[in-house]
Amino acid sequence: MAFVMPPFLIVAAIELAGSVPSFRWIQRAFRTAIEYFLDSFSGLSGPNSYLTSADFIHVVKLIEQNPIHDSIFVASLVLWVRFWRKLPSDRLAYGVLFLFASAMLVLHNQKLPFFIYAILPCLILGAGYSWKAFWPRLLESSRFIPALAITLSLCLVTAARATFHSLTENGNDLQLATLRPLQAFIKEERIENYYDAIGLFPRLNRIFAFPSPNDRNNSVIMTVVRNAKPDLFLYVTRSLELEPALAFFLGDSYVDIGGGAWLRAVQLKKLKASKDASGECGMAHSELGPIARERLGGDRVKLFEFDSTGFVSLIDPEIDLAKEGWLRWPCEGKSLALSTIRPRALSRKLDLRFLFGFDSNY
Q: Which tens digits make up the pLDDT trace of 154-167?
A: 777 777 776 666 66
Between the CA of residue 246 and those of 177, 234, 235, what are the distances in Å? 26, 12, 10
Neighbours of 331 (CB within 10 A): 16
Specify whether the CB–CB gap between 274 and 282 falls below 8 A.
yes
Confidence of residue 362 (pLDDT cuts 50, 70, 90): very low
Q: What is the per-residue pLDDT for 4?
A: 43
Report the predicted TM-score, pTM, of the whole model to 2 decimal places: 0.60
Confidence of residue 339 (pLDDT cuts 50, 70, 90): very high
Q: What is the per-residue pLDDT for 47?
A: 47
Which of 15-24, 80-89, 284-293 bottoms out in mean pLDDT, i.e. has the lowest? 15-24
Amino acid at 255: V
Specify whether the CB–CB gap between 324 and 286 falls below 8 A.
yes
Confidence of residue 29 (pLDDT cuts 50, 70, 90): confident
Of 359, 354, 357, the closest CA to residue 178 belongs to: 354
Beta strands per DSSP E along the chain: 194-196, 232-234, 254-256, 261-264, 266-267, 274-275, 280-284, 300-306, 312-320, 326-330, 335-339
